[in-house]
Structure 1
Amino acid sequence: MQADRRRAFAVLLVRRLAGALWLLTSAAVAQTPYTPADERQALSAASPLRGLAATGAASASTPSAAESAEQALRLAQQALELGRARADPRWFGVAEAALQSWESVPTPPPAIQRLRAVLRQRRHDFAGALADLDALLLADPDDSQARLVRAVIHAVQGRPQQSQADCLRLIGASSLLLATTCLANARGLLGQAVPMLAALEGQLQSPAGLDAGAEERRWALTVAAELAVRLQRPAQASRYYAEALALASRAQVEDVYLQASWADFQLAQGEAARVERGLRRTRSDLTLLRLAIAERRLAEAGQLAFQSRWQAHAEELEARFQLARQRGESGHGREEALLALALRDDPLQALRHSERNWQLQREPADARLLLESAIAAGRPDAAEPVRAWLRSTGLEDLALRRLAGLEAP
Structure 2
Amino acid sequence: MFLNQTTQTQVKLIMSANINGLACILFARRILLTAGAIACAILPLTGNTQPYTPDSADRIVETLPTAIVELAADIRRTQRSPSNSTTENNADIMQRAMDSYQVALATGEARAYGRTLSILHSWPERENKPVMYHILLAAVLQHNHEFDAALEQLQPVLAAETNGTDRLSPSQAQAQTQALMMQSQIGLVTADYALVKQSCNRLQDSARRPVFVNCQAQLDGVTGNTGAALTLIADTFRTGTDLNTLDYQELLTTAAVVAHRTGEQSQAEAYYQGAMRFAPDNNYLNVNYSNLLLEQNRLDELIALLSPDADSTMNAELRILLARALRARGAEPDREQAAEIIDVLTQEFELALMRNEAIPHKEFAQHSLYLVDSPVAALSAARENWMLQKEPSDTRLLAQAAVANDDQETLSEIEQWINDVGTQDVRLQAILTANREPRS
Please, what TM-score do these two structures have when normalized by structure 1?
0.80
Query: In structure 2, which of residues 385, 401, 410 is the aligned counterpart of residue 357 of structure 1?
Result: 385
Please say which of residues 355-364 and 88-97 is displaced more in the overlay: 88-97
Q: Is the 8 A contact 1:293 1:310 kept in 2?
A: yes
Query: In structure 2, which of residues 15, 25, 28 is the aligned counterpart of residue 12 of structure 1?
Result: 15
The separation in 1 between residues aligned to 2:250 and 2:103, in whole angstroms, is 18
Please say which of residues 67-76 and 330-339 is displaced more in the overlay: 67-76
Which letter does structure 2 place at the counterpart of 1:339?
H
Q: Secondary structure at the match of 2:424?
A: coil
Counterpart of 1:230?
A: 261
Q: Quick check: 1:68 aligned with 2:89? A: yes
Q: Is the 8 A contact 2:184 2:199 kept in 1?
A: yes
Higher helix share: 1
Counterpart of 1:194?
A: 227
Equivalent residues in 2 for 1:116-127, closer than 5 Å: 116-127=137-148
Q: Secondary structure at the match of 1:405?
A: helix
Please, what TM-score do these two structures have when normalized by structure 2?
0.75
The separation in 2 between residues aligned to 1:316 and 1:124, in whole angstroms, is 25
Residue by residue over 1:5-32, the C-alpha shift from the partner in whole angstroms, topping out at 9 and shown as x without a partner, is xxxxx8627x8455x43222x4579xxx
The offset of 1:153, in angstroms, is 0.7
Counterpart of 1:6?
A: none
The offset of 1:248, in angstroms, is 1.7
Q: Is the 8 A contact 1:107 1:113 kept in 2?
A: no
Q: Is the 8 A contact 2:261 2:424 kept in 1?
A: yes
Query: In structure 1, which of residues 154, 160, 164 is the aligned counterpart of residue 187 of structure 2?
Result: 154
Q: Is the 8 A contact 1:58 1:97 kept in 2?
A: no
Query: In structure 2, which of residues 296, 299, 307 is the aligned counterpart of residue 269 of structure 1?
Result: 296
Q: How many residues align?
A: 374
Structure 1: 5+ residue stretches without partners: 1-9, 30-35
Q: Quick check: 1:137 aligned with 2:158? A: yes
- Change in Cα spacing, 1:352 to 1:212, as seen in structure 2 (3 Å) is same
Counterpart of 1:101?
A: 122
The separation in 2 between residues aligned to 1:184 and 1:53, in whole angstroms, is 43
The offset of 1:88, in angstroms, is 6.3
The offset of 1:288, in angstroms, is 1.2
Q: Secondary structure at the match of 1:359?
A: helix
The offset of 1:261, in angstroms, is 1.6
Residue by residue over 1:239-276, the C-alpha shift from the partner in whole angstroms, topping out at 9 and shown as x without a partner, is 11112222123xxxx32222112211221121222221
The separation in 2 between residues aligned to 1:95 and 1:273, in whole angstroms, is 40
- Change in Cα spacing, 1:56 to 1:337, as seen in structure 2 (3 Å) is farther
Counterpart of 2:413?
A: 385
The separation in 1 between residues aligned to 2:79 and 2:141, in whole angstroms, is 17
- Change in Cα spacing, 1:312 to 1:117, as seen in structure 2 (3 Å) is same
The offset of 1:95, in angstroms, is 3.6
- Change in Cα spacing, 1:213 to 1:87, as seen in structure 2 (3 Å) is farther
Which letter does structure 2 place at the counterpart of 1:366?
D
- Change in Cα spacing, 1:56 to 1:231, as seen in structure 2 (3 Å) is farther
Q: Is the 8 A contact 2:14 2:26 kept in 1?
A: no
Q: Quick check: 1:171 aligned with 2:198? A: no
Please say which of residues 258-267 and 92-101 is displaced more in the overlay: 92-101
The offset of 1:50, in angstroms, is 9.0
The separation in 2 between residues aligned to 1:198 and 1:389, in whole angstroms, is 26
Which letter does structure 2 place at the counterpart of 1:228?
A
Q: Secondary structure at the match of 2:241?
A: helix
Which letter does structure 1 place at the counterpart of 2:32?
L
Q: Quick check: 1:115 aligned with 2:143? A: no
The separation in 2 between residues aligned to 1:309 and 1:86, in whole angstroms, is 22
Query: In structure 2, which of residues 74, 87, 92 is the aligned counterpart of residue 52 of structure 1?
Result: 74
Q: Is the 8 A contact 2:375 2:405 kept in 1?
A: yes
Q: Is the 8 A contact 1:28 1:330 kept in 2?
A: yes
Q: Is the 8 A contact 1:27 1:285 kept in 2?
A: no
Q: Secondary structure at the match of 1:319?
A: helix
Q: Quick check: 1:247 aligned with 2:275? A: no
Q: CA RMSD in A?
A: 3.3
Please say which of residues 144-153 and 328-337 is displaced more in the overlay: 328-337
Query: In structure 1, which of residues 299, 311, 323 is the aligned counterpart of residue 339 of structure 2?
Result: 311
Structure 2: 5+ residue stretches without partners: 1-12, 17-24, 38-61, 162-171, 435-440
The offset of 1:208, in angstroms, is 3.3
